[in-house]
Amino acid sequence: MTDFSEKLGKYAALAVQVGVNVQPEQNLVVLATLEAAPFVRLVVKKAYEAGAKNVYVEWNDDEVTRTRFELAPDEAFFDYPMWRAKGMEELAENNAAFLSIIAANPDLLKGIDPERIANANKTAGKAMQKYRSYAMSDKISWSIVAVPSPAWAEKVFPDLGEDRRVDALWDAIFAATRVNLDDPVGAWKAHTKTLDDKADHLNAKKYRKLMYKGEGTDLSIELPEGHLWVSGGSVNAAGTTFVANMPTEEVFTAPLKEGVNGKVRSTKPLSYGGTLIKDFSLTFEKGKIVGVEAAEGLEVLQRLVNTDEGSAYLGEVALVPHRSPISDTNLVFFNTLFDENASSHLAIGNAYAFCLEGGKNLSQEEQQQRGLNSSLVHVDFMIGSADTDIDGELPDGTAEAVFRGGNWAF
């Protein structure tokens, strides 16, 4: 137990010192599930020890969420508490940091009418659009970490006894986030430097296009002029570094909105809105999704793609080697925070402004003029595997290997 307590303390320190990197006199907002209460208390303590001015905790509860979707009237899913949206905007405008602590149940909303889920997501997306723009342009520090819940642990480790599942998921999370190492904070600084080096290499290449080949995948993705590859480490408007996703293994950029053509097949399930979407494929023409197939969760996926005009286009292209600490576990986490860092992936919807030269200071209209997509949604899905080959087209029209057999070719 002592060993576990020590690791939990290191994990909390990592979230505070590296994830959101709380600064003296800065406010911190913690968005957390009740399942995470013991860990949240540790995070609050670490934040105040780091000099935080105030730590505001906003709780949510899976059972309450499920009950609302089962029993609330249909019109409830067109309402969103604007006091909450305005409060988040005000905090963001005053340089607060935001830490999300998730313990997602992948099947939370299984059996719920997909229209209710779609309406709730769209309503929240509209209400939170201004707040989210602060995160999507790196104006604020934000991060996401995860803790186990019994329902999530059962999904990942169905063959283990009930009394062992949560501990096993804790072990997997600690391994993925480098908490098992003697100096996790130092290890993360070294890790982000490695990712930065990959981004620098790709930025020097200035690829015009990426071409993907794999089982069920034959896809080309044009990249906008002035695109930037970025890695897990970010810098906010105040000049403070932070890591938005813990864990992270990706280097990513934005695609040209109308420059995606071909077909891509998912390689891992997508947990979206409390529903699992499995074995799905998307077909693109001039950037737009024109065909959707799925073995499970098809209606939810179709409604996601039809959320708004931009949700039928891509906003992110991310490269992750098949050989990574998370992928090497051979686990499917049924959680995008982990699964996207075991696999190259794409994102449906909104693009990150900082993936363009000077993008952080562009208006949404200017971003669109430069070829970036705009949408209420941003949903990552996994497409990489040991069979994935990716070529990059250089400015002179020649092509070279970027990935071979799912891993970096350089």
Q: Convert the pLDDT of each residue in 142-165 to its tens digit.
A: 999 999 999 999 999 999 999 999
Establish if 183 belongs to a structural domain.
no
CB atoms within 10 A of CB 163: 7
Average pLDDT across the chain, whole number = 95
pLDDT at res. 136:
87
Asked if 409 and 344 touch (Cβ cutoff 8 Å), the reply is no
Six-digit token string for 237: 């408007």
Confidence of residue 238 (pLDDT cuts 50, 70, 90): very high
Spatial separation of the C-alpha atoms in residues 310 and 306, rounded to whole Å: 9
Residue 155 sits in the same domain as residue 203: no
Range of the domain at 23: 2-176
pTM across the whole model: 0.90
Based on the fold, state whether residues 221 and 359 are members of the same structural domain.
yes
| Same-domain check for residues 224 and 354 | yes
Q: Give the percent of the chain with pLDDT over 90.
A: 93
Does the structure show a pLDDT above 80 at 310? yes
Contacts of residue 254, defined as CB under 8 A and 6 or more positions apart, other chains included, come to 223, 224, 227, 315, 316, 317, 351, 352, 355, 356, 371, 372, 373
Is there a domain that residue 187 lies in? no
Same domain, 204 and 122: no
Total domain count, the chain: 2
Q: Are 225 and 314 found together in one domain?
A: yes
152 and 220 both lie in a single domain? no
Cα–Cα distances in angstroms (integers) from residue 137 to residues 219, 237, 358, 375, in the given order: 27, 9, 10, 14
Domain shared by 148 and 217, yes or no: no
Residue 241, in any domain of the structure = no
Contact 261, 92 (CB under 8 A): no
Indicate if 312 and 365 belong to the same structural domain.
Answer: yes
If asked whether residues 321 and 359 sit together in one domain, one would say yes
Residue 2 pLDDT: 61
pLDDT computed for residue 22 by the predictor? 98
Same domain, 22 and 124: yes
In a domain, 275, yes or no: yes
Could you tell me if residue 242 is inside a domain?
no
Would residue 189 count as lying in a domain? no
Domain assignment of residue 182, yes or no: no
Evaluate whether residue 188 is within a structural domain: no
Residue 1 has pLDDT above 60, yes or no: no
CATH, residue 140:
3.40.1830.10
Same domain, 293 and 383: yes
Question: Strand pairing of 345-349 and 97-102?
Answer: unpaired
Residue 200 is predicted with a pLDDT of 96
- With cut-offs at 50, 70 and 90, classify the pLDDT of residue 207: very high
Statement to judge: residues 211 and 333 lie in one domain = yes
pLDDT above 80 for 400 = yes
- Rounded Cα gap, residues 20 and 23, in angstroms: 9
